[in-house]
Every structure is written in structure tokens, then in C-alpha cells.
Amino acid sequence: MQKSVFYGALAAAVVIGGAAGAATLDDVKARGNLNCGVSTGLVGFASPDASGNWEGFDVAVCRAVAAAVLGDPQAVEFIPTTGKTRFTALASGEVDMLARNTTWTFSRDTDLKLDFIGVNYYDGQGFMVPKALGVTSAKDLDGATVCIQTGTTTELNLADFFRVNNISYEPVPIETNAEAQQQYLAEACDVYTTDASGLAATRASFESPGDHVILPEIISKEPLGPVVRHGDNEWGDIVRWTLNALISAEELGITSANVGELSGGPTNNPEINRLLGTEGTLGDMIGLDSEWAQRAIMAEGNYGEIFEKNIGENTPVGLARGLNAQYTEGGLIYSPPFR
Amino acid sequence: MSDTSFVRTEMLAEQDPPPTSVGVIGWLRANLFPNWWNAILTVLCLAAIWYVLSGLLGWTLRSVWTAGSLSECREVMIETWGSTHGHACWGVINDRWLQLLFGFYPPELYYRPILALLLLIAALAPVLFADKVSPRLLYVTAAYPFLMPWLMWGGSIWTPVGVAAGFVVAYLVGRALRGAVAGLVLGILSAIIWWMVWFGFPVQTEVLAAGLGEGLAAISPDTAPFLLETVESRKFGGFMLSVMIGVVAIGCSLPLGILLALGRQSNMLIVKAICVGFIEFIRGVPLITLLFVASTLLNIFLPPGTNFDIILRVMIMVTLFAAAYMAEVIRGGLAGLPTGQYEGADSLGLNYWQAQRLIIMPQALKISIPGIVSTFIGIFKDTTLVSIIALLDPLGLSNSIRADTDWNGIYWELFAFIALLFFIACFGMSRYSMYLERKLKTEND
């Protein structure tokens, strides 16, 4: 009941906000910087360093959009949002886009009047257990105590999974990820469950990560993607195709190292030429100049580079590409053609 | 039968008390081991204290200060002590203490918050220690509410000057028209008109285009000397943010609370109803709800594009919240005064405000000191709730710092540092209230 009133108010506000501030692109250009909503802190995805510069996988998307639109990857104001404030921040126009590990769901896309412009990370809920427990599959977890964040979709997914497999568990409700790590290490629970990327980051922070295993079962779909307001399709297009440009760049072998050279003049590959603006007028069609994609790629590199730099296997987070490999490598990352 | 009766003929010399009842041993016997039961308790307590301290001090002191990441810390610990258990990694504080204190405030401008803090001390001194410092410092106190925002947010000196001048205008108009209510209303109105002229609202062009408006335009904001570099609210954070919100809430809630408490006792129906309604509504709602209203709901109701500073919104909400509690604390003080005090004031022919100022409030506030200070301390600690609406106070920053792969997995060191900061501030307030109570203690209490 309360929820529907809240969402109703939110929806009303979005309608008003959408009608009044339709041209986000003009606002951003006039302001000279992009207001990008990010997490208050999520390992590998968004965090400020000691001098207050934000970095991370989600942050890189903001920088690419700023580079494409404004020509400067540094022209971003990062606005930290919590799980509770993120959608109102977007709806009220406080931020121009959200790049905040937000799961694309039906109700968010429709009822909340948001537009998910794509997926930059395919996540899913997993389980972590101590190796000493000798468990190799989540289906062996009958009777286990499970540390779980309350009030999240993970809680519901967990209940579904155990019910479908007809096994029992005992939940240990906790409030934050930090608390969960402490509880799990103190052996207050046998299992810790949250998104697999979060599990990997958590495990990486342990003293002896090798003593803990992440079980193979992934029990939910959590496609995370950047979000914009409903109703400003021009702006949505810009953010969507900036992300797609990063993805296509990896597929086409354009990296931050060779993008300068490739955009020097037309190459033999027409799609590279169209993407980098040495051929055709794709930039005009979304209201930007022809070099927009060059700048987006130069900002932090292509999708693969961003992945490797922030959350890839050589970082402390140490995530394998998995589902997030290019479709040519057996993953789900796929950009529509630049044509 | 022999006469064996004995009468001492001289006084015995005074002897030293037995060695077991003087000095260290005597004190120990009297206080720690007076009987076997207390002796057992003492030994148990000492054991508990030793157990806690040995762990805590070992953790605090046998620690790593210079590491650049948690894994580096652990390497150093293994190298030095052979295990990572029971050693603190203060490297994170070493790395991030400036951020925990100032948030993302530009480092080259750190002198501004520091100056604001020093001025705060100077502004508080004549209020807190009226008998020890020169009353001239009260000018600093009067200027501080206008200087502080200017120092913190930057911009032109004319902005705070203009705001302050508005209050002067209101005061002068109010004084010229001594008729109580009319003076008050006209004073407020004239101040509002002043601000509209000063800050170039449409009024300037329409009503007052000639003369005053143009004259002021020359020194209006953005064109003047003393232009400090503007710092946006979202750069504010850390302990600085907590102190700012806390100081504003504490400073404004006391006068507001007094007015509300008086309003609640008033005979005027509407004033009373408004005050009771306000107090009961605010006290009936959790602070976090008010903060959500400030951060999200206001965004929805204000027209799009309105730039109503988030920190200002939070300050207003926290102040209102504190004022409602303060009103009830002061009402307690008022209720504690015997009716004779009110009647005495009346019999002296004092009017309402004179009676409040000279007789009622000095006594009521004195009774309420412990309650007032504990409300202050409570509200100061409540400022950490702003981390839930994504303002980066020390607790919010601790989460952001943990999100850095270097420091993921570090907890107690950050919390210990933050706790220490808050403890210093709260303990200071508490000690001051005890000092004040001692100072104001009179014989007939």
C-alpha cells in the first residue's frame, strides 16, 4: 500500500519532470558537466580514491558519456546515491543518468518510468561457503544457516531456490554487506549469499581467500545497466549508443591505444569507419559530432579494457568474463550494428 | 588484699596508625579489599579489565601505520609478528584521515573550514565562558552565522553582508515602529523586500528599478571583491559535515525550542495549537523519515530545476527535529519552577517578555541544563544518519573507503577513528555542562 503511494508520487513526478526537462542533452551542454548517479561505494564498480577521484566499472560508463557529449571525460560530477535515493535522484533531475549496478526489472522499467539503456554487467546471485564445509553444490546446503541482506531481491530469490529444490535453510538476517562479511568470517553462518560479483570482491578481501569457494549455482538473473529517465529518447539514445560503442570497439579490436591511429583516416573496415566517424554521419543522427565515439573509447578504453582494469582477473576483485564476454567468445555482451 | 588498682598518670604518646591502614596498603584495604567478598570482586574486576585492555592495547599499539593497502598491512603483520590476529592496520587512517575529516573539499582550500572552526571557537567563547573572555568577542558571535556559510561555500562577501543587512533593516524598522505586532510584521516584511532587492529578484526591475536597485547593482553578488572560490555542497563530507550540521542544529534549536516551549504554555489558542501540533508531529516521526523527505520528497514537489541545496535542506530538518525535543526539555524546566516565581514576576509589574527574560528563563534553563546538553549530544550523533541519504559523513565515507579495492575488508580501524572523533566532541559537551552546573549552583538549590 505504502509502496504504491510512493511509486505513484514518483511516477507523477517523473511525468512532470519529464515534460519540463525534456532536453537533457541541452541541459548537460549548458551546464558543462554530466551529473552521474553512482553507488556510494561498491568494490570495483564505483569508489572514490584518497584524493576524491571516482573510479570503477560503472564510473567508466559515466566518463565515456561525458567524453562523447562534452569532449572531456573529467567533466562529470559524481553524485553518490543509495539504493533508496537512486530513483528519485534520477526522476527529479538531480542526476542525468544512473550508472549504479541497478538490476533491470520489469517494474522498474515500466512502473517507475525509467529506461534501462542496456546491460553493462550480467550478474546473478551466488553462494560462498568455507572450503572446510566440503560442499560442492548449492543443492547440498540442506539445513544450512545463510547470511542474507534483508529487504532485497536476494532474500526472495533464496527462498524460491530452496523451495524449488525442497531443502531447508535458516536465514541469518543482516543489514549491510560489511556486516555480512564480519558475520560470515565469525562463522555466524555457513553460507553467504549475494550477487556473484559482490561475493568475488568479498572473498578477495579475506585473509585467506583460498579457504572459501563460490559455488557454481547462480540462482537469479541480475542484468545491471545504466538508467535514464523515461521520455527523453534523444538522451537515452546517446547513453545507449555510447555503451554500445564501447562494446563494439572491443569486438572490432579498437582499443584506447590504437583508437587515435584508426581514426586518423578511413580503414578497410567500414564498420570501424562508421563508428569512429571517418565515414558516414552517425554522430549527426544522435545530435553529436562525428568524433563522439572516438572520445568515448579514448576516455577509459573499450568495454574489455574497462572490465580488465576495474574488475577483471588481474584486479583484486578477480572476476572472469563469463557471461560478460563478447558474444563471439560465448558471452552475452552484444552490440547492435553501427549502421 | 593488695592494692592493685592502676591509674595511668600520664597521657600515652600518639602513635602512628597501624601500617595496614595508611598509605597505599591502607587505601587498598579500605577501597578494594575490605572483606573477603569484596576482595573476590576486586580480583575478578581486575582480571576483566586486564583481559580487555591487553587485547585492546595490543591491537591498538602493535599495529601497522604505513601500509598502502590491507594486503600490504597483512604482509607487514606476518613479517613482524607472525600472525595478522590482534593487530590494527592504521594505514587506512594514515591514507584517508584528511578525507574522513573534510570529505571531498578541495585540499588547497582546507584553510577555510579550519578558519571557520577557529572562528566558531572564538564565537562560542563569549557565550560559553562569559566571565572569562572579553565581551567584545560577541561581535564575532553576531557575525559568525553570516561568515561561516561564506567561508564554507565561498562566493562574494556581499552575499552574507546582504543577508546580514536584511536583519539590520528588520531591526531598525521594528524599532522605529514600536507598536509590538505591527513593528514585528513590518520589520520582517522590510527585510524580505531588502533581500529581494539585494539578490536581484524581479522586484528590482519592476518596483525599485530606479535609485536603490541600481545603486546596489554595483556591489551586488558576483561582482565584488573578496570573491572566494565557490565549493559545491556535494564536495562537503566527513567530520566537517557532521560538525556543520550539528552546530547549526544545536545553535538554532535552542532559541526555537524556547519559543516553542513558551508557545505551548501560551494562552493564545492558535499559537498554542501550532506549537503543540508541531512538537507532537515532529516527535512522532523518526528523524530518518524527515531526512528522506528532505532528500527525495522535496525534490518531487519543488519545480524541476529548483536548486535547493541538499545540505541546507538537511540542516533545516535536523534543526526542526532538535527544536521539538528541545521544547519539551525546556517545558520540563518551566514546569519545575514554583508558581511563586511567576506570581512574583507579575507582582513586580514586569510584562511577559521581561518576566521571561529576567526571572523565568534563567531559572528554567538552569534546571534544564542536563537535558539540553543531552539533546545536543544526541542530535550531534544523529547527524550520522545522513549517510542513508547518500551524504558522505564519516560513516558514509567509511563505506566508500571500503569500496576501494585497497581497503576492502577493513572495519574496526575506521570505526574506531570515527568513534574517537565523536567521543571527543560529545565528551567535551558533557564536561562543559557539568562545569556550567557547578558554576550556576546557588545555595538554596
pLDDT single digits (tens) B358-398? 999 999 999 999 999 999 999 999 999 998 888 889 998 99
Domains of chain A are 2-122+224-329 (3.40.190.10), 125-220 (3.40.190.10)
How many interchain CB pairs under 8 A, A with B? 115
Task: Please name the member of B389, B401, B411 whose beta carbon is closest to the beta carbon of A85.
Answer: B389
Predicted pLDDT of residue B179: 59
Give the count of alpha carbons within 13 A of A248, CB side only.
Answer: 22
DSSP label at residue A131: G
Q: CA-CA distance, A56 to A234, in Å (whole number)?
A: 26
Using a CB-CB cut-off of 8 Å, the residues of chain A touching B232 are 77
Give the count of alpha carbons within 13 A of A209, CB side only.
Answer: 14
Helical segments of B336-388, H only:
339-347, 352-355, 361-382
Q: How far is A82 from chain B (nearest CA, A)?
A: 6
Q: Is B297 within 8 Å of A9 when comparing Cβ atoms?
A: yes
Predicted pLDDT of residue A16: 44
Q: Is B399 within 8 Å of A178 when comparing Cβ atoms?
A: yes
Q: What stretches in chain B show pLDDT beneath 70?
A: 1-3, 178-181, 200-226, 304-306, 443-445
Using a CB-CB cut-off of 8 Å, the residues of chain A touching B402 are 41, 43, 178
Using a CB-CB cut-off of 8 Å, the residues of chain A touching B297 are 9
Backbone phi, psi, residue A128, to 5°: -120, 135
Q: How far is A42 from chain B (nearest CA, A)?
A: 5
Cell numbers representing residue B39 in the block:
576482595
Q: How far is B201 from chain A (nearest CA, A)?
A: 22
pLDDT tens for A119-176 read 999 999 999 999 999 888 888 888 999 998 876 778 888 999 999 999 999 999 887 7
Q: Is A47 within 8 Å of B404 when comparing Cβ atoms?
A: yes
The secondary element (H helix, E strand) that includes residue A148 is: strand A144-149
Q: CA-CA distance, B52 to B69, in Å (whole number)?
A: 28
Q: Which of A15, A69, A13, A8 is nearest to A232 (CA)?
A: A15
Compute CA B74 distance to the chain's CA centroid, rounded to the nearest angstrom.
38
Which pLDDT tens digits describe chain A residue by residue (339 residues)? 344 444 444 444 444 444 444 589 999 999 999 999 998 888 899 999 888 899 999 999 999 999 999 999 999 999 988 887 888 889 888 899 999 888 898 988 998 889 999 999 999 999 999 999 988 888 888 899 999 887 677 888 899 999 999 999 999 988 777 888 888 988 999 999 998 888 888 888 888 888 999 998 899 998 999 999 998 999 999 999 999 999 999 999 999 999 999 988 888 999 999 999 998 889 999 999 999 999 999 999 999 999 999 999 898 888 889 899 999 999 999 999 998
Q: Which residues pair with A127 in a beta bridge?
A: A193
Q: How far is A312 from chain B (nearest CA, A)?
A: 12
